[in-house]
Chains A and B, each alone.
Chain A
């Protein structure tokens, strides 16, 4: 007896749209476990959970970064809506609405799904679950360091062991490009090349004499994680006074603070990290985990997206891709599906129900069923269901029967 799709041709089942998936029990539980651990860590750092609405009226704040990637929805009154493409925009909206009036700084976190259209047949998920945290109302490096440290710490709590964080600064690149001797054409080409990850074009623009040599040194080091404090200190001195130097000083302060959090080895400066969302304004970061081909998370400072009485508020935060993390989470702590299956013989249901309830109250997972048909057959299914112990409750009280051999139980991950 196993579950199968009904053969009813006149009642076709809805099929799954590309890029979406259903989460069966094992996967849904693994996802929830990761989320619980992330949320536990967020809470331990004083972040309070919020839940934004699924639909947005203005998801295109910024500079059209979601062009062509929104799932649009037409509302009842013909209003143009979209499924939220990310969590930061929702947080910015909440800050001006349901969070207005809260004393600063505000620490909030979210576990939610976001929706992004993607090219067909590329294996990309269009609905992904994210866990994010935001620190609103603090503009100093300690706030940047706090969210980066929280991101790293919650990843560890979730069971992700091998990862690194690359920290860049939007002002470092844009400030450097504003420096004298850089034409507008060069500036645009550099941004385009950085966004596309085109190091060939970047090299061509930067070493052709159209830009100062320190700029090439700064940007062509993609992948060269630099955590050496002397290098970062030297960076500040090498840059011309202005935005770029201020940004480098900012970065230096953030990296030093992260050293204090004990994250020196996992966090490093990577000026090539710029994040391609238009709303970032300061330190930005990306997290790379071994075994996942795309960054598992990232974020940064987005001053100006959140306002207080019309005055822009500093804010910084991040999102981690729960969906992407699932395959690399170690020690996922899978529990047996059921600790006890209580099978009731002949009208002893009330007593058996009391037994089941008392076991549940002691923390066991218990299911209760009347015994229909042969016990052997039911025991076989119980073993396939990952049941640890089976109690048969009959006229002579209850007796325990073994559902499976030890190997069978081990194969199901039951200990």
Chain B
């Protein structure tokens, strides 16, 4: 937990940073604007808010260990790590889906959840490449699919073409990366958005300080959702 009345927020580098910054700005917090490639820490002394930039998979650790009171992180990371922290808000930004995908050649154009059962696996069980081994393991168990999880650190979509795996579990936003690699979606495992998380002890001891921030972010997220719906209509 950080010093008495300062609030530290851990923000994720990468694809979630820009929409998160926009959301924070909408909630009246400009502190994140100072963060960039080389600036990992920014402070707003007037509001007594500090932002730390971390790798997305490290955000839960910052929050769990109390180095940050709040954090912004994708639901995918929370599902994989199951950290002992509070998931406070669905921020609605960074929307994408976690899916099981397989090569078009084996899954076919009309791939459906049932397809998973018939995916060729050369008699040794389905080999699934992913950055989310725990989620994938749980998914295979839930679906009763015999298989093995192959843990990768990135570029998962290449694994089937390289002969490393029969299928992948990965995040999809537009589906373009999947298509470019000759993959089709077989089944959606989860819908993913950015979440506001909190250290459970901070959340209780600093509630007076955190509640207005959470409320501002709740309103900003709701306004963002409304805008998106209008844009779609």
B201 within 8 A of A: yes
Residues of B within 8 A of A197 (CB): 84-87, 200
Known contacts A197-B86, A200-B87, A200-B90; is A224 also within 8 Å of B207 by CB? Answer: yes
Number of interface residues of B (CB under 8 A): 25
Looking at B14-22, B30-38, B58-66, B166-174, the stretch in contact with chain A turns out to be: B58-66
B201 touches A198 (CB 8 A): no
A292 is contacted by which of B1, B4, B85 (Cβ under 8 Å)?
B1
A290 touches B90 (CB 8 A): no
Within the complex, which residue of A164, A199, A292, A294 is in contact with B84, where a contact is CB–CB below 8 Å? A294
Please tell me if the beta carbons of A288 and B84 are within 8 angstroms of each other in the complex.
no
The distance in angstroms between the C-alpha atoms of A294 and B61, with both chains bound, is 13
A221, closest chain B residue (CB)? B207
Question: Is A123's beta carbon under 8 Å from chain B?
Answer: yes
- Tell me whether A166 and B201 are in contact in the complex, defined as CB-CB below 8 angstroms, given that A197-B85, A198-B87 are known contacts: no
A225 at interface, CB cutoff 8 A: yes
* List of A residues within 8 angstroms of B161 by Cβ: none
Contact B65 A123 (CB under 8 A): yes
Whether A293 sits at the interface, judged by CB under 8 Å, is yes
Instruction: Check B4 against A288 for contact (C-beta < 8 Å).
Output: no
Q: Is the CB of B204 within 8 A of A288?
A: yes
Interface residue A223 (Cβ < 8 Å from any Cβ of B): yes
By the criterion CB–CB under 8 Å, are A293 and B87 in contact? no
Q: With both chains docked as a complex, state the minimum distance between the C-beta of B189 and any C-beta of chain A, in angstroms.
A: 16
B84 contacts A200, CB within 8 Å? no
Whether the pair B88, A164 counts as a contact (CB closer than 8 A) is: no
The main secondary structure of chain A at its interface with chain B is loop
CB contacts (< 8 Å) of A289 on chain B: these are 201
The 8 A CB mask of B207-228 against A (1 = contact, 0 = none) is 1001100000000000000000
Find the residue from A198, A223, A290, A294 having the highest chain B CB count within 10 A: A223
- Tell me whether A294 and B201 are in contact (CB under 8 A): yes
User: Could you tell me how many residues of chain A have their Cβ less than 8 Å away from some Cβ of chain B?
Assistant: 24
A409 smallest CB distance to B (angstroms):
31
Task: List A336-383 residues whose CB lies under 8 Å from chain B.
Answer: none
Please measure, in the bound complex, the distance between the C-alpha atom of A100 and the C-alpha atom of B155, giving whole angstroms. 63
Q: How far is the CA of A270 from the CA of B204 in the complex (A)?
A: 9
B203→A293 contact, CB < 8 A: no
Task: Pick the most buried of B65, B88, B90, B205: most chain A CB atoms within 10 A of its CB.
Answer: B205
Once the chains bind, are A225 and B207 in contact (CB under 8 Å)? yes
Report B-chain residues with C-beta under 8 Å of the C-beta of A222. 86, 203-204
Q: Report how far A63 CA is from B66 CA in the complex, Å.
A: 30
B199 located at the interface, meaning its Cβ lies under 8 Å from any Cβ of chain A in the complex: yes
Chain B 34-65 per-residue mask, 1 if CB under 8 angstroms from chain A, else 0 = 00000000000000000000000000010011
Closest to A197 in B: B86
Closest to B201 in A: A288
A122, B61: Cβ atoms closer than 8 Å: yes
Is B195 an interface residue, CB under 8 A from the partner?
Answer: yes
Complex Cα–Cα for A162 and B3 (A): 13
Assess A199 versus B88: contact at CB under 8 Å? Given A166-B204, A225-B207: yes
Output the nearest chain A residue to B88 by Cβ-Cβ distance: A199
A223-B211 contact given A288-B204, A293-B1, A293-B65, CB 8 Å threshold:
yes
A295–B85 CA distance with the chains assembled, in angstroms: 12
Residue B89 is within 8 A (CB to CB) of chain A in the complex: yes
Shortest CB–CB separation between residue B216 and chain A, in angstroms?
A: 16
Q: Is the CB of B66 within 8 A of A293?
A: yes
A294 to B90, CA, bound (A): 23
- Is B87 a contact partner of A199 (Cβ separation < 8 A)? yes
User: What's the minimum C-beta distance from A326 to chain B, rounded to whole angstroms?
Assistant: 15
Check A295–B201 contact: CB distance below 8 A. yes
A198 to B88, CA, bound (A): 7
Known contacts A123-B65, A294-B201; can you find 17 more A-B pairs with CB under 8 A? A166-B204, A197-B84, A197-B200, A198-B86, A198-B87, A199-B87, A199-B89, A200-B87, A200-B90, A222-B203, A224-B211, A288-B201, A291-B1, A292-B66, A293-B201, A294-B200, A295-B201
24 residue pairs A–B, Cβ–Cβ below 8 Å: A122-B61, A164-B204, A164-B205, A166-B204, A196-B87, A197-B87, A199-B86, A200-B87, A200-B89, A201-B87, A222-B86, A223-B203, A223-B207, A224-B211, A225-B207, A288-B204, A291-B1, A292-B1, A292-B201, A293-B64, A293-B201, A294-B84, A294-B200, A295-B200
